[in-house]
Structure 1
Amino acid sequence: MNYNVGSNNISSSSVLRTLGLKNPKLLLLQTCSNLSQLKIIHGHMIRTHLIFDVFAVSRLISFCIETPFKTNLLDYASRIFSQIHNSNLFIYNAMIRGYSGSEYPNQSFNFYIQLRRLGISPDNLTFPFLVKSCTHYGSLAMGVQAHSQVIKHGFEPDVYAQNSLVHMYATFGDIKAATHIFWRMSYVDVVSWTSMIAGYGKCGDIECARRLFDKMPEKNLVTWSTMISGYARNNRFDKAVELFRVLQSEGVQANEAVMASVISSCAHLGALEQGERAHDYVVRNKMTVNLILGTALVEMYARCGSIQKAIQVFEELPERDTLSWTALIAGLAMHGYAKKALKYFSEMVKTGLTPRDITFTAVLSACSHGGLVERGFEIFESMKREYGLEPRLEHYGCIVDLLGRAGKLQEAEKFVLDMPVTPNAPVWGALLGACRIHRNAEIGERVGNILIQLQPEHSGYYVLLSNIYSRANQWESATKMRQLMKEKGVKKPPGYSLIEIDGKIHNFTIGDKSHPEIEKIERMWDEIVRKIRVAGYTGNIADALFDIDEEERESALHRHSEKLAIAYGIMRTKARTPIRIVKNLRVCEDCHTATKLVSKVFERELIVRDRNRFHHFKEGACSCLDYW
């Protein structure tokens, strides 16, 4: 028997029923629930020679490809295929489809080549999965070949082929090719629009992606997820959270993927209130807290300054992988809880999970912030000895930071010079930062000059070296460094601070005048300064090293972004309520000193996340012990 599967004259289900009258075992495929049952059916087909019926064997292979089991039966399908002598297009399409989403997507091309050698003509179901294989394999060259085959066989106008091509080119970042196909399509569906939105997002043109999103006549959940995750990937975290609110207002039910992007965005913004609302949304809608979503929640609470909540969420996770453990360890490290980070690291290892590169970065960072030099070296050396991991540049950077923060500057410099790999800018930068902390102009000058040669456009290194010179009273060298910055056109990025009040993010920059309540905020800070002066505050102008007189320097210090955020927080929150602030740059010494006194005088806990770590200010002291 030879059946033309998919023709208008006969359906696959009716043929299966007809075959089932003579071979009841074949009908059991419809209710097969495990591999043992499948093997029984397969054995029966071999004994009754039903295996030689092209339709029957095609159903068996199709079942393996579309298996409801957790076990992957692609290899099983391949072994069945190798025993067939009269494969048809349906079987080849099934194999191409199966491998398109597998670990070996390039195998789809081998089946396509076999199909063509046998003289079998592909159809409109062949090419979408062939193109998908190229996308999954990560080969644009193969994708272009697949595209040429689509054109050669006359399927370029087919909507499924076009959608797969748009998705492929968009995924590879060839937005020009994707756009060319998209605007020539006679019928554009939600899949087409979504692929283009994803492509623009990947290329960083998030504004164009949003324009397409707004033009769409119809959106599905994948579209919403693509746009929200696009904002998150392009660091437009405020927009990701804002679009989530629009999604809710339109009555669309978010899924785990959307919530992971939203929660991750809240983490970057330091928006605890919005993050808590997103978590509540997950709970209310009874979503499955999978590894991705669970890790996002742990990271969000840690990055928003609520480390105890991060620990609680972690402890309640139904399952944990290396990334979820790493998220918690990194969070503890950021908050300065070095011993707790090491405790969780030990527990992770005891569970049998193997630490990854990023896990070691997190635990070494904890040792650095905690001043645990010996323990840090032990962990660093265990990477290769116990886990077979070759230390990467970021791990070397952690050791340099560890030594530098502990004041072992000569050892740190020797460590860098003896590294088996060429040190990069972040490694040297860690040493330069340590020179600033410990006011070592000699090593700082050597390191700073190396960094300026490595990255002449990076403003931070000029500023750090200038500050080191100034603190050593080498004013002429400091002036020359500032002048060099001007000559090369290097500009320092403006510092900004974020504070969340009643679920809304407020952004402040130094000397900011855009906030509608700026005059009240400045008056409040002046009042704060008067009160903390009584407690011993004197403006530290060491970090305000501009070519201006002393009075102007002190005025500039009083307008640093985190000070404006603190003033606004005191204005708009109830007494004794913690104030949480996120800053994009490292906290300067004057702001650090001022914030400690604010916490004492106003009896407030202030939680500040800067570029390096968290600072918990309480009762006139900081959790970093002035060691940052």
Structure 2
Amino acid sequence: MFVNKTISLLPPQHISNSQRFSTTFFTSLPPQPSLHQIKQTHAHVVVSGHHARFIRHILSLLSLSSLFPFPLRYSVLIFDSIAFPTVFTFNSIIRCHAKANSSPSRSLALYSSMRRRFLKPNEHTFNFVLHACSKKTNNGKSSDSGVQIHAHVIKLGYACHVFVRNALIHFYCECSSVDSAKRVFEEDTLSSNVVTWNSILAGLVRNGEVRVAEKVFDEMPERDVVSWSTMIMGYVQNGIFKDGFECFRVMMERGLRPNLSIFLTLLSASAQLGLLAYGRFIHSIIESLRFPVIVPIGNALVDMYGKCGCIEEAKVLFDGMLKKDVQTWNVMICGLASHDRAKEALVLFQKFVSGGFSPTNVTFVGVLYACSRAGLVSEGKHYFKLMVDGYGIQPEVKHYGCMVDLLARAGLIGEAIQLIDTMTVTPDPVIWGTLLDACKFHGLVEMGEKIGNKLIQLDPTSSGHYVQLVGIYAKARKWEDAVRVRRLMVEGVTSKVAGWSSIEVQGRVHFFLAGDTNHECSSDIYKMLDTIGLRIIEAELLNEISS
């Protein structure tokens, strides 16, 4: 039954009773009709015998089908039933194709057909066609077609129309032509609205030009929550976490209500950096604003608390979530695994499966990692086989890495090497490094030497591989080889990008760059590092004497 809310479509003043009944039936559609309701109305228009006289109804049906997620085939059938399509009709069907993520070529073909009928496109036409050209294709031809459409925009005098300008900027940004987007933006800054500024802002951020985006952001005559969200995301995605949190603080001071994207971005940043105080702060704002804790927010909170070392709080949140999706379970399983709670992770996996969910590759990364951390060899083999044979999931590097680590920790080096030899993907340096650590632990000098040299060949700029090999030689008392590898390290690791780390102390985040002395407490820090180094050497010497 249709609800009483109606949308005004076509109420002519003087019509027959049958026509009036048809019009009433049509206008009784709710604001967001279902496909079934649309088809009912369509059928009534056709059966009533007024298809030709009520062509405006058919046009409205096509327009509705372009607004809501209806099957593309149905929209095409309506379009094909119209003998003399207008610009409005073409716009609707082009929009349907653009929304359906179908090939841009179909939208362009419709545009060409419209032009061959000597119909002049309007601003909506270009908006929809450029949206279609923004879709990614394998051959890249949509980018060339979009440039041709840009030429038509200029020829037909729509270059200053704000909606068309927005579509052009979005198109060029989607096609990674940020310089072209900049040129369109700078051609006429007066013919711009907040969407125009947000579009160029998003393009700059995606291109990694955060500082340029920052300047554009400062110059914006008007900002909305999308503007702030884009800027915060830009900072975080480009590793400028401090500025991202500061931008959020300023936004809150100005009284703007954060959106879902902002919360997810900041919770993700807190999780990546282990910034518990910041994560708690974001959580408190979510609660104070009574922001609905929908599944994505719940997942982000569980992930944040798990990665920040508060697995119990993560469990409480997980248990309290009324709705859970596959990612919710994955986050909790991986969180338990990383906290050495393998038994709980495996029990949770069983609940996950018995609840009717299908595991993904991420689920099995968590399960295999749990087995690896706990040394559960037989369980690990079982789940690895279950993943491949039971669920048809092809192992990826992370799955193999967990299994190699599991076997190597248990001293099953031969099995680990055999697994690497049968891998369906190329083993990365992390897998070989895992095996090298096991060789050092179990005193397998000859095998460790082979693997170490292989690693150095794979990635000569990584100092970690040299250090691992030096450790093996030192443990075997092959001092000459240890010195030789150290010299190789000094010669080979010259262009390595310095690593950085961070720590949160009393609500303040401290960043450290390898070899840096800019921190206010750098002198005391390096003294403590020297002390720690001496104590490690003393402990190793005492261990060797006692053994």
TM-score relative to the length of structure 1: 0.76
1:93-132 alignment, distance < 5 Å:
93-104=91-102, 106=104, 107-132=106-131
Give deviations 1:420-449, integer Å, cap 9, x for gaps.
443232322221232344343222211111
1:437-486, Cα deviation, whole Å (9 max, x unpaired): 43432222111111221222222212222222222222221221121122
Partner Cα distance (2:390, 2:110) in 1: 43
Tell me, in whole angstroms, the C-alpha distance in 2 between the residues paired with 1:17 and 1:429. Answer: 78
In the alignment, the residues of structure 2 paired with residue 496 and residue 421 of structure 1 have an alpha-carbon distance, to the nearest angstrom, of 30
Q: Deviations over 1:211-254 (max 9, x none)?
A: 22222221111111111112222222332222111110111110
Following superposition, the deviation at residue 307 of structure 1 comes to 0.8
CA distance in 2, matches of 1:271, 1:383: 34
CA deviations on 1:66-109 (whole Å, 9 max, x unpaired) are 24xxx645443333223222222112211222332324353433
| Residues 73, 492 of structure 1: alpha-carbon distance in 2 compared, 3 angstrom cutoff | closer
CA deviation map 1:318-348 (0-9, x unaligned): 3222222111111112111111111222222
Q: What is residue 184 of structure 1 aligned with on the other side?
A: 187
Query: AA paired with 1:430?
Result: T
1:165 alignment partner, one of 158, 168, 190: 168
Report the more deviating stretch, 334-343 or 405-414. 405-414
User: 2:229 maps to what in 1?
Assistant: 225
In the aligned structure 2, how far is the partner of 1:114 from the partner of 1:344? Answer: 57
Q: Does 1:42 align with 2:42?
A: yes
**Residue correspondence of structure 1 range 427-446 to structure 2 within 5 A:** 427-446=431-450
Match of 2:313 among 309, 314, 317: 309
Alpha-carbon distance change, 431 to 185 in structure 1, aligned in 2, over 3 angstroms: farther
Counterpart of 1:576 in structure 2 is: none
Does 58-67 or 103-112 show the bigger shift?
103-112
2:393 paired with 1:397: no
Matched, 1:337 2:330: no
2:443, 2:193 → 1: CA distance? 63
CA gap of 1:14–1:351, structure 2 versus 1, over 3 A, is: closer
Aligned residue for 1:471? 475
The answer to whether the Cα contact below 8 Å between 2:302 and 2:332 also exists between their aligned partners in 1 is yes
> Which one of 226, 238, 249 corresponds to residue 245 of structure 1?
249
Letter in 1 for 2:536: N
SS of the residue aligned with 1:302? helix
Whether the 8 Å CA contact 2:87–2:114 is kept in 1: the answer is yes
CA distance in 2, matches of 1:324, 1:452: 39
Greater Cα shift, 397-406 or 490-499: 490-499
| Inter-partner Cα distance in structure 1 for 2:293 and 2:443 | 48
Return 5+ residue gaps in structure 1 as ranges.
1-11, 530-536, 545-549, 551-588, 590-628
**Cα separation, 2, equivalents of 1:263 and 1:29:** 41
Number of aligned residues: 523
Q: How does 1:288-437 map to 2 (within 5 A)?
A: 288-437=292-441
Amino acid at match of 1:480: R
Higher relative contact order (CA 8 A, sep 6+): 1
Q: Taking structure 1 as reference, are residues 367 and 36 closer, same or farther at Cα in structure 2, changes over 3 Å only?
A: same
- Match for residue 79 of structure 2? 81
Retained in 1: the 8 A contact 2:130–2:171? yes
Equivalent position of 1:504 in the other structure: 508
The one-letter code sitting in structure 2 at the alignment partner of 1:125 is: H
Letter in 1 for 2:176: G
CA separation in 1, counterparts of 2:102 and 2:322?
Answer: 31
- Partner Cα separation in structure 1 for residue 146 and residue 242 of structure 2: 40
Shift of 1:512: 6.7
Aligned-residue offset at 1:515: 4.2
Q: For the structure 1 residues 124 and 480, does the alpha-carbon distance in structure 2 shift closer, same or farther, using more than 3 Å as the test?
A: same
Question: Letter of the aligned partner of 1:159 in structure 2?
Answer: V
SS at match of 2:134: helix
CA gap 1:74/1:205 in 2 versus in 1, 3 angstroms? same
Q: Which shows bigger deviation, 207-216 or 153-162?
A: 153-162
Deviations 1:332-382 (A, max 9, x none): 121111111112222222222222222222221111111111111111112
Q: Find the aligned partners of 1:487 and 1:511 in 2 and give their Cα distance.
A: 18
- Taking the aligned partners of 1:19 and 1:398, their CA distance within structure 2 comes to 76
Aligned-partner residue type, residue 170 of structure 1:
C
Partner letter of residue 164 of structure 2?
A: A
Q: Tell me, what secondary structure is at the counterpart of 2:135? A: helix
Instruction: Please give the secondary structure, in 2, of the residue aligned with 1:121.
Output: coil
Give the Cα–Cα distance (whole angstroms) in 1 for the partners of residues 160 and 180 of structure 2: 15
Equivalent position SS for 2:509: strand
Counterpart residue type for residue 63 of structure 2: S
Task: Give CA deviations for 1:152-179 in whole Å, capped at 9, x if unaligned.
Answer: 2523333222211211222332222222
CA distance in 2, matches of 1:142, 1:297: 39
SS of the residue 2:187 aligns to = coil
Distance across 2 between alignment mates of 1:477 and 1:156: 70
Distance 1:32 1:424 in 2: 51
Q: 1:458 aligns with which of 459, 462, 479?
A: 462
Distance 1:363 1:17, change over 3 A: farther
Q: Match for 2:428: what amino acid?
A: N
SS at match of 1:318: coil
Q: Deviations over 1:116-154 (max 9, x none)?
A: 344433221011222112223456431331231231252
Mapped partners of 1:414, 1:542: distance in 2: 38
| 1:193/1:37 CA distance change after superposition, 3 Å | closer
Query: Match of 1:82, as an amino acid?
Result: D
User: Structure 2 residue aligned with 1:285, among 274, 282, 289?
Assistant: 289
Asked whether the 8 Å contact 2:101–2:132 carries over to 1, the reply is no
Q: Distance in 2 between matches of 1:463 and 1:141?
A: 49
What is the distance in 2 between the residues matched to 1:189 and 1:469? 66
Pairing 1:90–2:88 present: yes
AA aligned opposite 2:175 = F
Superposition TM-score, scaled by structure 2 size: 0.87
Whole-Å Cα distance in 2 between the matches of residues 487 and 410 of structure 1? 33
SS for the counterpart of 1:381 is: helix
Which residue in the other structure is 1:136 paired with? 135
* DSSP 3-state at the match of 1:500: strand
Mind listing any 5+ residue stretches in structure 2 that lack a counterpart? 1-6
Taking the aligned partners of 1:268 and 1:220, their CA distance within structure 2 comes to 27
Partner amino acid, structure 2, of 1:127? F
- Percent of residue pairs bearing the same amino acid type: 33
Q: 2:513 and 2:298 mapped to 1: Cα distance?
A: 33
In the TM superposition, residue 46 of structure 1 has moved relative to its aligned partner by 0.7
The one of 159, 170, 182 aligned to 1:156: 159
Preserved contact between residue 271 and residue 307 of structure 2 (Cα < 8 Å): yes
Partners of 2:538 and 2:122 in 1: CA distance? 73
Provide, for residues 470-505 of structure 1, a one-character-per-residue CA deviation record: whole Å limited to 9, x for no partner. Answer: 222222212211211222243666565533233221
CA contact (8 A) 1:338 1:366 kept: yes
Give the Cα separation in 1 of the matches to 2:353 and 2:238.
34
CA distance in 1, matches of 2:518, 2:467: 27
Q: By how many angstroms is 1:407 displaced?
A: 2.2
